[in-house]
């Protein structure tokens, strides 16, 4: 859709512009159209009666038609027409007499586009954006302009930093290493959708943002729905649902060039072009980005590209198609947590991964990945009451993480990469039927097929001329020394791989997951009252083939089938500018495959039961011309879950697990992975966000969230080494302990002021309190083992920026943007992976034992960009 919308042909139609209505009520009706004359489905029309503040809204139907009745007599009225990803267009000072009806035809303008902007959002019935939903939810939306301006050199997760109950950490570890928690739940338990397509890993739910670096450039909006959300899919949106909606194909010819520079030699260049609507009915939009940088933390260099191609075709008034392919091949060196004492001595940029490797200092920890994603959307307007939306998608991924390893026998060091390739195909389809003026029905399906391939490959022997000894493969009895090496170039990830199984180190297994779900929803809306019920059922099949630990014929595991379901419903009531709502939902979620098979083998975990999740939430919303207020309260309980964390081994760990100093078991500085089984959590809290527009040009925002997130009951904690061999296990009681890795109290405020046309300044302040470590320590209390976590010091951050845009000609624009994050250069702990305590005040910082493993957040950073549109 075009970025700017203009109303024209605001005409009183002689055949019905004024006619009799029900007593003392007025109405506004019309048809929303594109510039080319096609009608637009799904636009939102909001009408405000200025004297009373009454707000009545509706949406355009499948034919672009709308009618909004029951308006108060007189005026003036303000009419706003909005569409997903677009700025609202406003027409004011409409006057209506009692019973009078006004007919308008809001039309999208042919004004020049300055971006790869949307003409029509694809997947109307699949993408559950809250703007099209009558029942209110706890939601925050970030539009393209804000994404483009404020994210800069950061991950796209940073766009959500100023929203309640969201905590972003890990950015200092390197490009794409950030992670996000929502209401205290990590991102493996928050659903992420790209144009309606699930993108959480099917094996463990994880999302690695290095694989999605191109989203900042191609997204038309990002929307986070905290809690139960609006999604109809059979997904477990425990913390919430995040929708990334990409641009579809632009119908206007034009393009742009943008260059960004930043701290630590960050450089990024992006070019985009649209063919516009061609005579054959097709339109093509394309974009390419190149980036590189040294990283904030020492020795976390990285580089990559991203590409985007969208081909649109409107076959008829009823059929609309859009094909999209995108990818972001990249590599980057990684940082990790280190002892607090190291940061205090060497500075906040210190990187523990920079170490000696056979006489050469290097950072051996490197991530490389290439994950192309393609989807085909088909929107079919069957008639004026029904429609069908379908998205078919495919994701092919190759790459992994490189690290420094030690030979089992001669103890020589070498570099090897843990490969995580996959093939993922799926289809999501939703049928919508308008049963009556007040009743709407949806039904659909979601099917997915996933194959994951995992092994370790040699990338550099580091001078070992005899090669690296392959050990542990039960099918190879004679000593085998590997000499063939494979690339860590992300563009070569699909081809540079050991096809022979006797060249795969440490492990070699495939995962297979098949998933099928059915979902449905019924929604009622009349006279300000709405109610909905949504339900889904799903079946998930898991199996595993291990070619390293099992002989031929025995490599296949048992097939594990799990049935899951969820149900949620809610009601709301809107009276004038005020709305209240309440929702409830229950999930029975299948465990991830990594929790079904124990010890990274084909052993079935008998304790891997369906996770049970109960969510309750309620909210109040006030909306007016000058002020918007949202207040939400929630409670979520979660049983039978499995959590995981990782940390670097200390000398104490080596003494405990490896007294013989065998390098194949554990050495200081190597990873230890912890899995906690049988976890129960209870999360409750309140959220507030406010937006005020006291006068033209000034926007003030604020948010606050207070959470009480605690564990309940005992867990079984299992620790494994880098080769996934179990080191030890213990049962620990965590009752009453706080959930870590996210601040439970946050608040902040922001302001944006337009100094003059085209020039604006903005700033945001955030405070984080009650942040706890992600890993507990075990202590003896009253004869039992109890887990205790450590509280971290509070901290605050200040970000600022300015924008300037100038028209070079009627069709060309130059825009400039400068960002500075952590303006005050605060030194703060963003996360901790240990909970050591001491009584020696000489070894503490702000009450924290300096032997604890922590991550220091980024200090002051900056970036600047210039963009030329044509």
Identity of the highest mean pLDDT range in 110-119, 248-257, 823-832: 823-832
Q: How does residue 18 score in pLDDT terms, banded at 50, 70 and 90?
A: very low
Question: Can you say how many angstroms the Cα of residue 439 is from the centroid of all Cα atoms in its chain?
Answer: 32
- How far CA 672 is from CA of 677, 723, 851, in Å, comes to 16, 10, 17
Question: Looking at the domain assignment, is residue 244 inside a domain?
Answer: no
Residue 417 reports pLDDT greater than 70? yes
**For a pLDDT cut of 90, what percent of the chain falls above it?**
48
Q: What is the pLDDT of residues 122-134, one digit of tens each?
A: 565 677 766 544 5
Q: Which residues pair with 749 in a beta bridge?
A: 702, 765
| DSSP state at residue 156 | G
Out of 35-44, 459-468, 733-742, least confident range: 35-44
Tokens of 328: 């972001």
Q: Which pairs with CB-CB distance under 8 Å and at least 24 residues apart come from 493-496?
A: 493/329, 493/368, 493/369, 493/370, 493/398, 493/399, 493/421, 494/370, 494/396, 494/398
What's the total number of domains in the chain? Answer: 2
pLDDT of residue 251: 56
Q: How much is the pLDDT for 134?
A: 56
Can you tell me whether residue 774 is helix, strand or coil?
A: coil
What is the per-residue pLDDT for 431? 95
- Kind of pairing, strands 366-370 and 219-226? unpaired
Per residue in 227-240, pLDDT (tens digit) is 887 777 766 677 88
CA triple 117-120-121, angle to 5 deg: 90
pLDDT at residue number 816: 96
- Residue 251 tokens read as 């119908």
Residue 284 falls inside a structural domain: yes
CB 643, CB 591: distance < 8 Å: no
Q: Label residues 202-236 b or e (16+ Cβ within 10 Å = b).
A: bbebebbbbbbbbbbbbbbbbbbbbbbbbbbbbbb
Lowest mean pLDDT among 275-279, 349-353, 702-706: 275-279
Please tell me which residue, 794 or 73, carries the higher pLDDT value.
794
- With a cut of 70, say whether residue 525 has pLDDT above it: yes
Measuring CA to CA, which residue among 125, 99, 106 is closest to residue 42? 125
Determine the 3-state secondary structure of 455 from DSSP.
strand
Task: Give the C-alpha separation, 435 to 527, whole Å.
Answer: 17
For residue 511, being part of any structural domain is answered with yes
- Domain annotation covers residue 60: yes
pLDDT band per the 50, 70, 90 thresholds, residue 6: very low
The 3-state secondary structure of 665-677 reads CCCCCCEEEEEEE
pLDDT tens per residue across span 143-168: 878 888 888 888 888 989 999 999 99
Residue 276 scores a pLDDT above 90 = no
pLDDT at 717: 77
Among 108, 128, 160, the domain-final residue is 108
pLDDT above 50: residue 329 = yes
Task: State the pLDDT at residue 1.
Answer: 39
- 73 pLDDT more than 90: no
Percent of the chain with pLDDT over 70: 89
Q: Is the pLDDT of residue 96 over 60?
A: yes
Instruction: Report pLDDT for 840.
Output: 85
Report which of 671, 681, 541 is spatially closest to residue 615, judged by C-alpha positions. 681
Rounded distance, CA 58 to CA 71, Å?
Answer: 12
142 occurs within a structural domain: no
Neighbours of 165 (CB within 10 A): 32
Q: How confident is the model at residue 10 (pLDDT cuts 50, 70, 90)?
A: very low
The structure tokens listed for 221 are 């909006």
- pLDDT (tens digit per residue) in 752-787: 999 998 999 999 999 999 999 998 888 888 888 888
Q: What is the mean pLDDT of residues 672-698?
A: 88
For residue 794, the model assigns a pLDDT of 97
| Residue 12 lies in domain | 5-108
Residue 119 has pLDDT above 50, yes or no: no
Q: What number is the average pLDDT over the span 646-670?
A: 79
Residues 6 or more apart whose CB falls under 8 angstroms from that of 860 comprise: 263, 820, 821, 822, 823, 824, 825
Q: pLDDT of 171-196, one tens digit each?
A: 999 999 999 999 999 888 888 888 88
User: Rounded distance, CA 520 to CA 432, Å?
Assistant: 10
Which of the residue ranges 61-75, 478-492, 852-866 would you say has the lowest mean pLDDT? 61-75
Confidence of residue 859 (pLDDT cuts 50, 70, 90): very high
* Arithmetic mean of pLDDT, 367-380: 93
Interatomic CA distance for residues 305 and 287, integer angstroms: 11
Select from 55, 86, 108 the last residue of a domain.
108
Cβ neighbours for 540, distance < 8 A, ≥ 6 positions apart: 513, 514, 515, 561, 562, 564, 590
Q: What is the pTM of this model?
A: 0.81
Give the span between the Cα atoms of 200 and 218, in whole angstroms: 19
Residue 7, pLDDT above cutoff 70: no
Q: State the Cα angle at 721 between 734 and 176, rounded to 5°.
A: 85
* pLDDT of the residue at 13: 31
* Range of lowest pLDDT (263-277, 350-364, 661-675, 846-860): 661-675
Q: Is the pLDDT of residue 410 over 80?
A: no
Instruction: Give tens-digit pLDDT for 560-591.
Output: 999 999 999 999 998 888 999 999 999 998 98
In degrees and rounded to multiples of 5, residue 578 shows phi and psi of -115, 140
Phi-psi region of 501 (alpha: psi -120 to 50; beta: other; left: phi over 0): alpha
Q: Over the stretch 105-116, which tens digit does the pLDDT of each residue have?
A: 776 554 423 333
Q: Output the domain CATH number for residue 67.
A: 2.60.40.10
Look at residue 42 and tell me if it is in a domain: yes
Residue 146, H or E segment: helix 144-150
- Which of residues 80, 108, 136 is at a domain's end? 108
- pLDDT score recorded for residue 17: 35
Tokens at 519, concatenated: 């979902």
The predicted pLDDT at position 392 comes to 95
Answer yes or no: is pLDDT of 252 > 70.
no
- CATH code of 349's domain: 2.40.170.20
Average pLDDT of every residue of the chain = 85
Q: What is the mean pLDDT of residues 653-662?
A: 82
Q: Summarize pLDDT for 597-620 with one digit per residue, the tens.
A: 877 789 887 767 888 999 999 999
Which range among 92-96, 205-209, 532-536, 755-759 shows the weakest confidence by mean pLDDT? 92-96
Report DSSP letters for 168-217, one per residue: EE-GGGSTT--EEEETTB-GGGSEEEETTEE-S-TTT----GGGGTTHHH
Please check whether residue 358 lies inside any domain of the structure.
yes
**Total Cβ atoms within 10 A of residue 750:** 18
Bridge-partner residues for 681, per DSSP? 638, 711
Tell me, yes or no, whether 147 lies in a domain. Answer: no
Convert the pLDDT of each residue in 721-735 to its tens digit.
876 678 888 788 889
Question: What tokens were used for 827?
Answer: 């030194």
The predicted pLDDT at position 643 comes to: 67
Residue 23, classed as helix, strand or coil, is coil
């Amino acid at each position: 859709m075009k970025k700017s919308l203009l109303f024209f042909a605001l005409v009183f139609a002689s055949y019905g512009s004024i006619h009799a209505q029900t007593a003392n009520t007025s109405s506004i009706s019309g048809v929303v159209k594109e510039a080319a004359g096609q009608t637009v489905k799904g636009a939102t029309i909001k009408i405000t009666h200025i004297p009373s503040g009454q707000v009545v809204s509706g949406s355009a139907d499948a034919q672009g038609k709308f009618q909004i009745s029951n308006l108060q007599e007189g005026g003036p009225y303000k009419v706003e027409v909005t569409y997903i990803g677009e700025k609202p267009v406003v027409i004011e000072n409409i006057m209506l007499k009692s019973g009078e009806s006004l007919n308008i035809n809001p039309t999208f303008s042919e004004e020049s586009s300055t971006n790869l902007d949307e003409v029509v959002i694809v997947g109307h019935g699949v993408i559950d954006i809250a703007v099209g939903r009558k029942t209110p939810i706890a939601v925050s939306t970030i539009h393209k302009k804000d994404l483009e301006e404020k994210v800069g050199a950061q991950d796209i997760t940073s766009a959500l930093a100023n929203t309640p109950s969201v905590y972003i950490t890990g950015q200092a570890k390197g490009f794409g290493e950030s992670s996000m928690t929502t209401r205290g739940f990590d991102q493996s338990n928050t659903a992420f959708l790209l144009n309606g397509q699930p993108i959480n890993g099917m094996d463990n739910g994880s999302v690695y943002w290095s694989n999605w670096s191109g989203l900042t450039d191609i997204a038309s909006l990002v929307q986070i729905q905290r809690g139960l959300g609006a999604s109809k899919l059979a997904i477990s949106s425990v913390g919430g649902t995040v929708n990334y909606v990409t641009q579809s194909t632009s119908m206007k010819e034009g393009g742009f060039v943008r260059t960004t520079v930043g701290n630590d030699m960050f450089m990024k260049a992006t070019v985009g072009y649209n063919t516009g609507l061609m005579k054959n009915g097709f339109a093509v939009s394309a974009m390419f980005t190149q980036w590189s940088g040294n990283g904030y933390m020492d020795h976390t260099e990285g580089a990559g590209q991203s590409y985007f191609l969208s081909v649109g075709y409107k076959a008829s008034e009823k059929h609309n198609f859009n094909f999209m392919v995108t990818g972001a091949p990249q590599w980057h060196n990684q940082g990790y947590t280190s002892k607090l004492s190291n940061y205090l001595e060497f500075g906040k940029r210190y990187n523990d991964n920079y170490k000696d490797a056979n006489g050469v200092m290097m950072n051996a920890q490197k991530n490389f990945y290439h994950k192309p994603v393609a989807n085909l959307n088909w929107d079919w307007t069957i008639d004026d009451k029904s429609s069908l939306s379908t998205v078919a998608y495919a994701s092919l991924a190759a790459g992994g993480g490189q690290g420094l390893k030690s030979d089992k026998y001669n103890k020589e060091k070498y570099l090897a990469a843990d490969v995580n390739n996959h093939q993922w195909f799926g289809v999501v389809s939703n049928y919508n039927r308008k049963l009556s003026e007040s009743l709407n029905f949806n039904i659909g399906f979601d099917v997915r097929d996933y194959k994951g391939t995992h092994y370790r490959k040699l990338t550099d022997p580091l001078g070992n001329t005899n090669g690296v000894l392959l050990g542990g493969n039960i099918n190879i009895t004679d000593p085998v020394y590997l000499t063939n090496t494979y690339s860590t170039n992300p563009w070569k990830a699909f081809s540079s791989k050991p096809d022979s199984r006797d060249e795969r180190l440490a492990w070699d297994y495939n995962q297979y997951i098949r998933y099928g779900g059915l979902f449905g929803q019924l929604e009622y809306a009349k006279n300000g009252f709405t109610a909905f019920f949504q339900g889904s059922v799903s079946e998930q099949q898991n199996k595993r083939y291990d070619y390293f630990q099992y002989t031929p014929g025995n490599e296949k595991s048992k097939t594990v089938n799990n049935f899951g379901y969820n149900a949620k419903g809610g009601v709301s009531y809107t009276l004038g500018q005020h709305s209240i709502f309440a929702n409830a939902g229950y999930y029975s979620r299948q465990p991830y495959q990594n929790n079904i098979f124990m010890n990274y083998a084909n052993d079935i975990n008998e304790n891997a039961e369906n996770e049970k999740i109960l969510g309750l939430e309620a909210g109040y919303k006030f909306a007016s011309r000058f002020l918007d207020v949202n207040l939400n309260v929630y409670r979520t309980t979660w049983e039978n879950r499995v959590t995981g964390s990782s940390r670097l081994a200390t000398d104490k760990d080596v003494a405990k697990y490896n007294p013989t100093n065998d390098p194949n078991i554990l050495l200081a500085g190597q990873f230890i992975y912890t899995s906690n089984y049988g976890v129960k959590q209870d999360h409750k809290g309140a959220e507030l966000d406010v937006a005020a527009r006291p006068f033209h040009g000034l926007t003030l925002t604020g948010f606050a969230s207070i959470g009480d997130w605690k564990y309940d009951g005992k867990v079984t904690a299992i620790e494994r080494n880098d080769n996934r061999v179990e080191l030890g296990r213990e049962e620990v009681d965590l009752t009453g302990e706080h959930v870590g890795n996210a601040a439970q109290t946050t608040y902040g405020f922001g302001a944006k002021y337009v100094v003059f046309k085209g020039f604006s300044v903005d700033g945001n302040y955030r405070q984080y309190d009650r942040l706890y470590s992600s890993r507990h320590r075990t202590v003896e209390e009253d004869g039992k083992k109890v887990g205790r976590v450590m509280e971290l010091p509070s901290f605050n951050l200040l970000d600022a920026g300015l924008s300037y845009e100038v028209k070079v000609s009627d069709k060309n624009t130059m825009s400039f943007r400068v960002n500075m994050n952590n303006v005050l250069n605060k030194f703060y702990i963003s996360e901790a992976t240990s909970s050591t305590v001491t009584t020696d005040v000489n070894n503490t910082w702000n009450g924290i034992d300096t032997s604890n493993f922590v991550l220091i957040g980024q200090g002051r950073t900056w970036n600047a960009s210039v963009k030329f549109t044509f």
